[in-house]
Structure 1
């Protein structure tokens, strides 16, 4: 008698692809909409930088316990002056446990990370605020950050991810995908800054 071989349905396969690659279907849709907005040219002001004007990298997400915390750690590792913050968080909160367990996969340690809320952040001339999502760009502008001091970090990732979806409370697989995207983006951004003679890089 032949053994029964389990073959996942097309729907199951698509759900798995979305889970690993985008976190949720909403994450996929937001990425698609963001890429369309990028292709239209409307995001052009947030994907161009002047390296010699950048003195500090400021990584921004919502809670400063996953995405921006990891971006901050990677930038530090590459020798950049960097800080990070959350648009809605509690100053002093530790990194999320999945962020802490995922970071060592890429050679980083988030155990000492502590969040900073936007209200406890002081903008300085020369700051480049690196947002993970288009809506975060608009929120930063609404809160008084100059538009020319904001960029979308995912523009520098390979593959291109103008929207980096929040991995919070999603699977271990998507955490790894998200952190791989951030790692790629920071590495490529730092290289561009280095080639442009940015003062944000420690000599």
Structure 2
């Protein structure tokens, strides 16, 4: 294989997981630039009682994000849009979280159908399509936000690492950790009640 193509594939694998992931990240950023994500960028942080992290399976992205938030003293939980309640975190998620000082060994997934919405919950989604699914299920736009808006670097679409490389798992979890930390800093500045005193 051409060394140049091999290097490009390695960069895509590490930073985006797959070529599809790269495209979805670009499309997410385009949606942001065009203003289409605006309804999901400015939650009323001073009113938030609980952060609810949302992905598909609740065994990777949202599970890890919940653990990061809980370690920072935030009232939080996590759910999956299409999962089975009780499933453990994915083994790669557990392995990746460990060196970052977080233990996902006791995590159990919660399906959306088993989640009880509270008016001051903030549902933090990983992808724009997750926000659309929540809206279609009847959740109000003002209760939904794109977690990647707080990531460093800014990344509206946080691509699913499930069954992808160890390198991308680490990249994804680094992005999630930075996003949660950025959000928590804003919550503290807003004296949000979800910060446990």
State the TM-score, normalized to the length of structure 1. Answer: 0.96
Mind listing any 5+ residue stretches in structure 2 that lack a counterpart? Answer: none
Task: Pick which of 179-188 and 47-56 moved more.
Answer: 47-56
Alignment match of 1:109 (pick from 87, 103, 111): 103
Matches within 5 A, 1:51-66: 51-66=45-60
Q: Cα deviations across residues 17-57 of structure 1 (Å, max 9, x unaligned)? A: 00000000000000100101101111111111211111100
Q: Does 1:25 align with 2:19?
A: yes
In structure 2, the residue matched to 1:172 is 166
In structure 1, the residue matched to 2:144 is 150
In structure 2, the residue matched to 1:9 is 3
In structure 2, the residue matched to 1:183 is 177
In structure 2, the residue matched to 1:194 is 188
| Cα distance in 2 between the residues matched to 1:167 and 1:99 | 9
SS at the partner of 1:84? strand
| Cα distance in 1 between the residues matched to 2:98 and 2:181 | 17
Q: Does 1:159 align with 2:156?
A: no
| Cα distance in 1 between the residues matched to 2:81 and 2:5 | 35
Q: Does 1:39 align with 2:49?
A: no
Mind listing any 5+ residue stretches in structure 1 that lack a counterpart? Answer: 1-6
Residue 109 of structure 1: how far off its partner (Å):
0.2
| Cα distance in 2 between the residues matched to 1:144 and 1:98 | 33
SS at the partner of 2:154? coil
Q: Does 1:75 align with 2:69?
A: yes
RMSD: 0.9
Work out which of the two has the higher radius of gyration on C-alpha atoms and give 1 or 2: 1
Residue 9 of structure 1: how far off its partner (Å):
1.6
SS at the partner of 1:169? coil
| Cα distance in 1 between the residues matched to 2:104 and 2:2 | 36
Residue 8 of structure 1: how far off its partner (Å):
5.7
Spell out structure 1 runs of 4+ moving beyond 6 A. Answer: none
SS at the partner of 1:57? strand
